[in-house]
Amino acid sequence: MFIFQMGLLEFTEKGIYCSHADVYIDPWKPVKKALITHGHADHSRPGHQYYLATPEAAPIIRYRLGNEIRIQTLPFGSAQTINGVKFSFHPAGHIIGSAQVRVEYKGEVWVVSGDYKLENDGLSTPFEPVPCNVFITECTFGLPIYQWKDQAEVFAEINQWWQENKDAGKVSILTGYALGKAQRLLFGLDQSIGPVFTHGAIENVNEIIRAQGITLPETQRVEADMKKRIFEGSLILTTPSSVGTSWLQRFKPYSVAMASGWMALRGARRRRAADRGFVLSDHADWDGLNAAVSATGASRIITTHGYTNLYSRWLVEQGLDAMEAKTEFEGEVNDVT
Ligand SMILES: [Zn+2]
Ligand SMILES: [Zn+2]
């Protein structure tokens, strides 16, 4: 039944499992007890009997999975010991409340990264390397072609594109995932150019985050009865899945841009029917992954998400004991809600 057994944690058909404590980390099938790194749909799935997450991540998990779920919180740096195994959450810098999970048993330490990035986005608690023996790392963008620019540079490009659209009498349609990317974009937008409107899927998430006491820049939800005039010179923040739907028609004439790590790939923008692509990701780039791996001091690395085979081979060439693991995590995909 087990895909492979490897020590303190193992990869089973339900997810990453600690048998000593009978606990799963981001399981993809229903389990008794789940530690959740963050609220994205591939990590935070329905049907578990008990959830444990950071206090910052819990509201969005509850919003997405329903108020009836049993969820408890554990702040960054605090530990919970289950049957002698010590679990703690440490900042992953990916989205609000996103955590790495540290697992310690009889002096051996494993860390599950979840999704992470090293650049401080001003919203997520910044990534902290956690020393460990074994590091289970995502590698969504684990190829040398993925090199992110400084976010300030990307935001300057986005704002320039917005200004140019405004000057040309066009509405700017900017897409990003509803949880994480959309809020990060909001912080980078220069609202002296014009007002920012949001798709309902994004505004719902904004409301949850504001209710946590976090101040987000001002936004207005697009309502069905709004007159076309009101959108002149504005920027509409929407989800990637809304592109190509009739929802966009009312904003004509417009220009569509996507903000995603995938925009670094040739052809990605065209395939997704966008006029512009901005390379902005909430995952670590190639240098970020290598810096994170080396900062843990881990001698064993297990790769998940994305280029697992190529990235683990690269690590082996660097003299590390590395292998890939098959999971049901998805990289930076189209987030539905
Ligand atoms: Zn994620
Ligand atoms: Zn993920």
Q: What is the number of the ligand closest to the CA of 137?
A: 2
User: Which pLDDT does position 337 carry in this prediction?
Assistant: 32
CA–centroid distance, 57 to ligand 1, in Å, is 12
CA dist., res. 174 & res. 126, Å (int): 25
CA–centroid distance, 298 to ligand 2, in Å, is 21
CA–centroid distance, 329 to ligand 1, in Å, is 9
Q: In percent, how much of the chain has pLDDT > 90?
A: 90
Count of residues in the chain: 337
CA–centroid distance, 283 to ligand 1, in Å, is 8
Q: Are 154 and 280 in contact (CB under 8 A)?
A: yes
pLDDT digits (tens, 9 = 90+) for 301-322: 999 998 999 999 999 999 999 9
CA dist., res. 300 & res. 297, Å (int): 9
CA–centroid distance, 93 to ligand 2, in Å, is 13
Q: What is the number of the ligand closest to the CA of 177?
A: 1
Q: What is the number of the ligand closest to the CA of 139?
A: 2
pLDDT digits (tens, 9 = 90+) for 153-193: 999 999 999 999 999 999 999 999 999 999 999 999 999 99
CA–centroid distance, 132 to ligand 2, in Å, is 21
Residues with CB under 5 A from ligand 2 (ion): 115, 329
User: Which pLDDT does position 273 carry in this prediction?
Assistant: 80
CA–centroid distance, 142 to ligand 2, in Å, is 13
User: Which pLDDT does position 333 carry in this prediction?
Assistant: 59
Q: Residue 148: is its pLDDT beyond 50?
A: yes
Residue 95 pLDDT level (bands cut at 50, 70, 90): very high
CA–centroid distance, 160 to ligand 2, in Å, is 31
Can you list the domains of the chain with their CATH numbers?
10-145+282-324 (3.60.15.10), 151-278 (3.40.50.10890)
* Mean pLDDT calculated for residue range 68-92: 97
User: Which pLDDT does position 330 carry in this prediction?
Assistant: 75
Q: What is the number of the ligand closest to the CA of 305?
A: 2
CA 227 to mean position of chain CA atoms = 34
User: Which pLDDT does position 1 carry in this prediction?
Assistant: 39
**3-state SS of the chain?**
CCCECCCCCEECCCCEEECCCCEEECCCCCCCCEECCCCCCCCCCCCCCCEEECCCCHHHHHHHHCCCCCEEECCCCCEEEECCEEEEEEECCCCCCCEEEEEEECCEEEEECCCCCCCCCCCCCCCCCCCCCEEEEEECCCCCCCCCCCHHHHHHHHHHHHHHHHHCCCEEEEECCCCCHHHHHHHHCCCCCCCEEECHHHHHHHHHHHHCCCCCCCCEECCCCCCHHHHCCCEEEECHHHCCCHHHHHHCCEEEEEECHHHHCCCHHHHCCCCEEECCCCCCCHHHHHHHHHHHCCCEEEEEEECHHHHHHHHHHCCCEEEECCCCCCCCCCCCC
CA dist., res. 62 & res. 212, Å (int): 13
Pairing of the two strands 220-221 and 196-198: parallel
CA–centroid distance, 253 to ligand 1, in Å, is 33
CA–centroid distance, 158 to ligand 2, in Å, is 25
Q: Residue 227: is its pLDDT beyond 90?
A: yes
* Mean pLDDT calculated for residue range 275-282: 96
Q: What is the number of the ligand closest to the CA of 98?
A: 1
Q: Residue 17: is its pLDDT beyond 90?
A: yes
295 Cβ neighbours under 8 A, 6+ residues apart:
129
Q: What is the number of the ligand closest to the CA of 138?
A: 2
Maximum Cα interatomic distance, the chain, rounded to a whole number of Å: 65
